[in-house]
Each structure stands twice: as C-alpha cells, then as structure tokens.
Amino acid sequence: MGRMIKFARVDTLRVVSACVAIMLVTLGALACSDNGDSAKTSLRDRITELKIEALDTGPTHSDELFALGQALFFDPILSGNRDISCATCHHPDAASGDALPVSIGTGGTGLAADRQLGASRHFVPRNATELFNRGAPQWHTMFWDRRIERDGLLGISSPAGEDLPTGLPNVLVAQAMFPVTSRDEMLGDKDEASYEEGGNELAFLDDEEAIWEALMVRLLGIDGYVEMFTEAFPEIPTENLTFVHVALAIAAFESDGFAFADSPWDRYVAGEAGALSEDAISGGELFFGRANCATCHSGPLFTDQEVHNIASPQTGPGKAGEAPDDFGRFRESFDFEDLYRFRTPPLRNVELTGPWFHSGAYTSLEEAVAHHLDPLQSLEDYAQSASARELASLYEDEWSERQFSRSVRDETGAAFEGEFAFIYTDEVRTDMITRTLDPVIADMPELNDDEIAQIVEFLKSLTDPAARDLSHLVPESVPSGLPLDE
Ligand code: HEC
Ligand code: HEC
C-alpha cells in the first residue's frame, strides 16, 4: 500500500518548472495543459449542472432571544474561573475564530493572535472553527471529528450520550451545551475548585448535568439575566429554565449574527455576470472541475460534512492518548478506517479565518490549497514550509518544547494505551496516514502556480464584504458585570 502511494509521489516542482520552461521557449501553453479549452466546462454551465443554489441561512430569531444569546456568548460567567467566554475563542475581531493555530482556554490572557497561554496550562488541541452560517438547515454535524451529529430517528448523538437532553432542535443548539463542560476550555482544573465567594464551584463537578445545573444557579442569581430570560422565553416560568434555554439563545445569536450570504460568488450564482473577476472564474472552473475540490467542498456551504484523511500535518499538542497526534474521527468511532479523518471544513469567508486545518498547520491559503494537490509529499516537507516557519517563530517556546517532546517520543516510541497499544514512530505514522488516505486526494491533478492562484482568487470570492467587520456584534457590557475580552 505504502509503495503504491510512493509511486504517485511525483516531483511536482520539477514537472511544473519543466512545463514553465517549455511554455517560455515555445509559448505553447497547450504543451502543459491536459485539457484544451474546448474540453473545459464554463463556470456558468457547472452551476447549472451541479444545481448550485443560493444559501439558505436559516430562520431568524426574536430580538430578545438574540440579545440574551449575545450576552451569554460574551459573558465569562459561563466559565468556571469567570475568565473566558465563547467569544474569547470565537471573536468578531477574529472572524468568529481566534486567529490562533490552536486555542488557548481558561487561564490564558489577551485576545486573538495576542492571546497567551496561562502558566502550566495546556493548549486546546484543535483549531477553533469559524461560526459562519451555522444556522443553515443543512448542518447535521459539529466539530472537526463530527462528535455531535444528527442521528436519524434517534435524535442527536454527542459525547454526553444519554445525558444530552432530548428534543434539541438542531446540532448547533446541542453543541452550545458542551464548551462549558470542557476543563481546558471553560471549566477549569479540579485543583482550582473552591466554594469561596467568586470561586470556581464548578470545577468540583465531573458530570455534565451537574455543571449545567450549577451554571443555572449562577445565571439566575443575576437580576439582569432573570429579566432577559423572561423576555426571551415569556412562556417559561423562571424555575423551569434549564441550560437548554441557554443553548437555544446562544445558538440563536450565532446563527443570526454570523449569517453572511452576499459574497461575489453568491451574486454570480444569482446571475450577476460581472461579480467575479476573470481569475476567480478560472479558479471556480478548476474548483468545480479538474481540481476536484467540490467532491468534498460541496453544496452551498462548501462541505459534504463527511470525514476524510487528506494527510494533514500533525501539528499542535495532539489529543489525549495519541498525542502528539490527533486521530480525528477514529477517536469517536474506533474504526481504523477513520484514522486521521477530519470533517471537510466549509469555505465561506475562508480568506478571513486562518490559520487553516484542524490544528492550524497552514498560515497561508496558497499552502493550504497546495497541500491537497500532493498531500503525502506536502506532509513530508511540512517542516520546511513557510507556515511551519511562521508558527515556530510565533510560538517559539511552546513549539520547541512540543517538537522536543515529539522527537523524544518518536525515538523512544510512544505507547498508545489500551488494547490498541503499538510502538509509535515516524514511519508508523506515515504508514498509518497513507493507509487511509482519501482516494480522491490520492489522485489529484497537477496544477501550476497560476492555477493555484486562480483557485485562491475563487476562494476569496466566497468572502461576504460585510463579514470583514463584525465589530457591531460586540456588546458594550454583559449582565454579570465581568470585563469583556480585549
Ligand atoms: C478555548 C476556546 C474555545 C471556547 C471558550 C469555545 N470554543 Fe467553540 N470551539 C473551539 C474549538 C477548538 C473548536 C473545535 C473543536 C473540535 O472540533 O474538536 C470549537 C468548535 C465550536 C463549534 C463547532 C462548529 C462546527 O461547525 O463544527 C461551535 C458551534 C462552537 N465552537 C461554539 C462555541 C460556543 C457556543 C462556545 C461557548 C459556550 C464556545 N464555542 C466556546 C474553541 C472554543
Ligand atoms: C477528499 C476531500 C477533499 C478534497 C477533494 C479537497 N478538500 Fe479541502 N479539505 C478537506 C479536509 C478534510 C480539510 C481539513 C483537513 C484538516 O483539517 O486536517 C480541508 C481543508 C481545506 C481548506 C482549509 C479550510 C479551513 O477552514 O481550515 C481549504 C482552503 C481547502 N480545503 C480548499 C480545498 C481546495 C481549493 C480543494 C481543491 C484543490 C480541496 N480543498 C479539495 C477535504 C478535501
């Protein structure tokens, strides 16, 4: 298996530069392109063929529910130590993410790219997803590994199993139940637990239901919230309010606040021929045609919501037992086919939401796109990439420490605990990644730099100009009176 893939590992650089040389000498562009213009389907035809339609951003919510959700989203009162809110990692100033490769949870200081890890804290293992258009009715999965998903007639499956309240209307609401239960993100460590005034009484708790209940005690002890809940849920007596109402309000804020469907691409789909530049049109033709991008980045959200292994670099702290790696979907399914599989990210406003990939491995869109075209080679060469160099300088201490622990582990062979125990070396890792490599990604066409630039132009046409400035979403203050992130 490994050998087959090696065979596909063509030296792209050499081929591309040979092509460029031929072009320069003969001015015969046809010598390099494997599709004559006649074979190319126009972007307009592809839109018709693929039945591409306008994005439905979902139902909107009442002003009162939005206002409550906005307050809760920005209020550090939902965190054990009262020092971090949803907005810390999904901030309007950072296009609904945090502009970091991987997030920094409770104990950290500062916002977005300036955020620093607190003393003796751990990074959150993954890149904070952006939150654009999560109110769209197509969404049936949440998280890089789909650990929350709509599960047919059974409702919604999640890490809380049977403890997840039933009857939640969608996966976005279900998702909003969880960040408060994560020790590294919002809950805090056990040794921080305290019943003192203003102390972290939540950190004593291990059980989701108990955490949700304790948070309701906090919230309903604040007059401003009692009032806002009453306005948002006039038919629910205060004593019947639960954390589900918190989640409903947060999801309402997320879906209305971050809904943006008026990009140049949307205007082009609606018939406005001049909405896209020529390069963006050529990029779109590649995206939906020869470059196969839309096989996975499909539909109006530009994701199939399926998991794929595209041999992404294993940067960042990694997850639990397999650290410094992150086994992706395998962590949920325990199916070896799912090793290193991550959910296809949506691409609207992608230009604004770097660094990209599940651990923020790429700091440039060009490199993120180019990775797809020769994934195994790109994985092997990652340490030499501009992205790796940029991240290394941004996070010098943590990064070198991590690289160090990684190399120690690689030499000694890190053991993966339990019944799947094995010795873990670079070779083993590459072999594992190669085995489950997505067949589409294993067989991508070669593109030259101009074509990659065109695809990037196309990706930039997915930016709604209004999404560039989200500062109107930041409230002046929150009902708890706690300071907002800055
Ligand atoms: C410490 C940073 C941090 C905080 C605080 C945080 N998040 Fe996140 N969020 C993340 C990361 C990292 C992910 C991706 C995790 C994964 O996929 O495993 C994520 C994923 C999500 C997603 C999934 C989107 C998708 O399509 O998969 C949503 C929605 C979300 N967060 C909303 C929230 C809300 C609501 C809160 C507050 C209740 C919150 N987050 C608090 C970092 C954070
Ligand atoms: C086999 C499915 C598949 C194909 C084909 C594919 N992608 Fe991806 N793409 C993914 C997955 C999965 C990720 C996330 C990988 C990770 O996080 O480790 C991703 C990540 C990305 C990202 C980063 C987005 C973010 O928010 O982190 C961009 C940009 C992107 N792809 C563009 C493209 C383009 C352009 C093409 C065509 C040249 C393409 N993709 C083809 C599955 C695919």
Q: How far apart are CA 69 and CA 72, in angstroms?
A: 5
- Is residue 468 within 8 A of residue 307, CB to CB? The reply is no
Exposed (0-12), middle (13-18) or buried (19+): which is 475, by Cβ within 10 Å?
middle
Q: Which of 89, 100, 113 is nearest to 185 (CA)?
A: 89
345 lines ligand 2 (CB under 6 A): yes
Q: Residue 283 CA: which ligand is closest?
A: 2
**415, HSE (Cβ side, Cα atoms, 13 Å):** 4
Q: State the alpha helices, DSSP H only, in 270-310.
A: 278-288, 293-296
Ligand nearest, relative to CA of residue 352: 2
Q: Write down the pLDDT at residue 391.
A: 84
- The closest-lying atom of ligand 1 relative to the alpha carbon of residue 84 is 5
Domain 63-260 in CATH 1.10.760.10: yes
First-last CA distance in the chain: 50
Neighbours of 65 (CB within 10 A): 23
Q: Is the CB of 356 under 6 A from ligand 2?
A: yes
Q: Tell which one of 185, 215, 332, 359 to mutate to probe ligand 1, the residue whose CB is within 8 A of the most ligand atoms.
A: 185
303 Cβ below 6 A of ligand 2: no
Give the number of the atom of ligand 2 that is nearest the alpha carbon of residue 365. 29
Residue of 310, 326, 356, 378 to test ligand 2 pocket, by largest number of atoms within 8 Å of CB: 310
Please give the angle made by the CA atoms of 387, 304 and 315, to the nearest 5 degrees.
Answer: 25
How many whole angstroms from 179 Cα to the centroid of ligand 1? 6
Q: Is 296 helix (H, G, I), strand (E, B) or coil?
A: helix
Ligand 2 centroid to residue 230 C-alpha, Å: 43
pLDDT of residue 319: 84
Contacts 24+ apart (CB under 8 A), 414-418: 414/323, 416/321, 416/322, 417/321, 418/321
Token reading at 57: 């951003």
Q: What is the pLDDT of residue 401?
A: 55
Q: H or E stretch including 450? A: helix 449-460
3 state DSSP class of 243: helix
Architecture per CATH, domain 2-55+262-467, reads as Orthogonal Bundle (1.10)
> What is the widest separation between alpha-carbon atoms in the chain?
80
Angle between helices 208-220 and 223-232 (to 10 degrees): 100
Q: How many CA atoms lie within 13 A of 126 on its CB side?
A: 16
pLDDT, residue 429, reads 83
- In the prediction, which pLDDT does 418 show? 39
Chain position carrying tokens 């190319």 = 40
* Residue identifier of the C-alpha nearest atom 6 of ligand 2: 293
Give the ligand at the shortest distance from the Cα of 112.
Answer: 1
What are the domain boundaries of the chain?
2-55+262-467, 63-260
DSSP state of 149: E
Instruction: Give the separation between CA 224 and CA 215, rounded to whole angstroms.
Output: 15
Q: How far apart are CA 439 and CA 397, in angstroms?
A: 38
* Ligand 2 contacts CB of residue 300 (under 6 A): no
Which ligand minimizes its atom distance to the CA of 310? 2
- In tens digits, what is the pLDDT along the chain, a chain of 486 residues? 333 333 333 444 454 454 445 444 444 444 444 444 445 679 999 999 999 999 999 999 999 999 999 999 999 999 999 999 999 999 999 999 999 999 999 999 999 999 998 988 888 999 999 999 999 999 999 999 999 999 876 699 999 999 999 989 999 999 999 999 999 999 999 999 999 999 999 999 999 999 999 999 999 999 999 999 999 999 999 999 999 999 999 999 999 999 999 999 999 999 999 999 999 999 999 999 999 999 999 999 999 999 999 999 988 888 877 777 899 999 999 999 999 999 999 999 999 999 999 999 999 999 999 999 999 999 999 989 999 988 876 656 655 555 545 544 444 444 444 334 444 567 788 888 999 999 999 999 999 999 999 999 999 999 999 999 999 999 999 999 999 988
Closest ligand relative to 317 C-alpha: 1
* Among candidate residues 360, 327, 347, the one with its CA nearest the CA of residue 147: 327
Between the CA of 256 and the centroid of ligand 1 the distance, in Å, is: 17
Q: Whose CA is nearest to atom 40 of ligand 1?
A: 86
CA dist 333 and 412 (Å) reads: 28
Cα separation of 152 and 195, whole Å?
42
Domains 2-55+262-467 and 63-260 share a fold: yes
Atom of ligand 2 nearest to the CA of 306: 12
Task: Look at residue 30 in the predicted model and tell me its pLDDT.
Answer: 43
Ligand lying closest to the C-alpha of residue 344: 2
CA distances 322 to 314, 413, 421, 454, Å, are: 11, 11, 10, 38
pLDDT at 427: 79
341 CA closest ligand 2 atom index: 12
Q: Say how many Å lie between the CA of residue 186 and the centre of ligand 1.
A: 11
With a Cβ cut-off of 6 Å, ligand 1 is lined by 78, 84, 86, 88-90, 103, 105, 124, 126, 128-129, 131, 134, 142-144, 172, 175-176, 179-180, 185-186, 250
One-character DSSP codes across 354-369: -SBSTT--BSSHHHHH
Q: Is the CB of 342 under 6 A from ligand 2?
A: yes
Q: Whose CA is nearest to atom 36 of ligand 1?
A: 86
Distant-in-sequence, close-in-space partners of 204: CB < 8 Å, separation ≥ 6: 190, 193
